[in-house]
Amino acid sequence: MDSFRINKILGLVLGIALFLQTIHLVDAMFLPAKVAKPSSEAAAVKEEQPPAADAQAFDSLLASGSAERGAQVAKQCQICHNVEEGKGPKIGPDLYGVVDRPVASEPGFNYTAALKAKGGKWTFAALNKWLIDPRADVRGTSMTFAGLPREKQRADVIAYLVTLSKNPVPLPKVAGTGQAQ
Ligand code: HEC
């Protein structure tokens, strides 16, 4: 009689075990494979660009800028600009003496209202910002030049623009030991 009850209980336990096992199998059959976790690369936010013009870093780059290399790069400017004294405007104003010159001040050139509204002088920092992308710097300018995204090229071009003068503005000194490579 006791063994009969034990059998009953064992049977029940086995039954439950079998039932659970079956559920587990069905589960495995019908549930989709674990959803792949989104890769951390995809989720990572695109790395921020460094600030376009870090004035101090650019100064030291300018200090070691090469007017010779700049003259090469500036050949493309001469499609639109004269670089000699008294040559007057082409598509753009004469760039002779442009460093430290008040913005939009060449007599005989018809500047856009946008550039006239800029104000100030063509300091190194102003030229640097302008040459990255003129149309981003001054919305509505007629200087349809894509810009020089490479900082080193801009430093070289500005070092060259400095030479277009009887009294060249001195380039900044290299600060301390922070010589630009
Ligand atoms: C496609 C023609 C074109 C090219 C190429 C071009 N420029 Fe210009 N640039 C212009 C025009 C047009 C203006 C006048 C913009 C205005 O009035 O809005 C101008 C204005 C300027 C000014 C302002 C001058 C002032 O008197 O205020 C500077 C500085 C300048 N350009 C530098 C450069 C340099 C440096 C390059 C080469 C890296 C260059 N430009 C290439 C057409 C050009």
Q: What is the pLDDT of residue 21?
A: 77
Ligand 1 atom nearest to CA at 94: 26
Does residue 170 surpass a pLDDT of 60? yes
Integer CA distances (angstroms), 136 to 1, 48, 52, 115, 162, in order: 96, 19, 12, 12, 23
What is the CA(138)–ligand 1 centre distance, in A?
11
Contact 180, 63 (CB under 8 A): yes
Residue 181 has a pLDDT of 45
57 lines ligand 1 (CB under 6 A): no
Q: Is the CB of 145 within 6 Å of ligand 1?
A: yes
The pLDDT of residue 43 is above 70: no
Residues 69-107, buried b or exposed e (16+ Cβ, 10 A)?
Answer: bbbebbeebeebbbbeeeeebeebbbbbbbbbeebbebe
User: Which residue minimizes the CA distance to atom 3 of ligand 1?
Assistant: 80
Q: Ligand 1: which of 75, 76, 77 to mutate, most ligand atoms within 8 Å of CB? A: 77
> Mean of the per-residue pLDDT values for the chain?
84
pLDDT-based confidence at residue 25 (cuts at 50, 70, 90): low
Model confidence band, residue 68 (pLDDT cutoffs 50, 70, 90): very high
CA–CA separation, 41 vs 39, rounded Å? 5
Q: Could you give the CA distance from residue 64 to residue 173 in angstroms, rounded to a whole number?
A: 9
Does the C-beta of 104 come closer than 6 Å to ligand 1?
A: yes
In terms of Cα–Cα distance, which of 164, 145, 153, 147 is closest to 95? 164
Q: Please give the average per-residue pLDDT across 96-117, as a whole number.
A: 97
Amino acid at 92: G
What lies within 8 Å, CB to CB, of 98 at 6+ separation is 122, 127, 161, 164
114 is written with which tokens? 């946008």
The answer to whether residue 136 scores a pLDDT higher than 50 is yes
- Residue 125's Cβ-count burial label (10 Å; 0-12, 13-18, 19+) is middle
pLDDT at 48 > cutoff 60: no
Cβ–ligand 1 distance for 123 under 6 Å, the answer no
Cβ burial of 49 (10 Å; 0-12, 13-18, 19+) is exposed
Confidence at 2, pLDDT banded by 50, 70, 90: confident
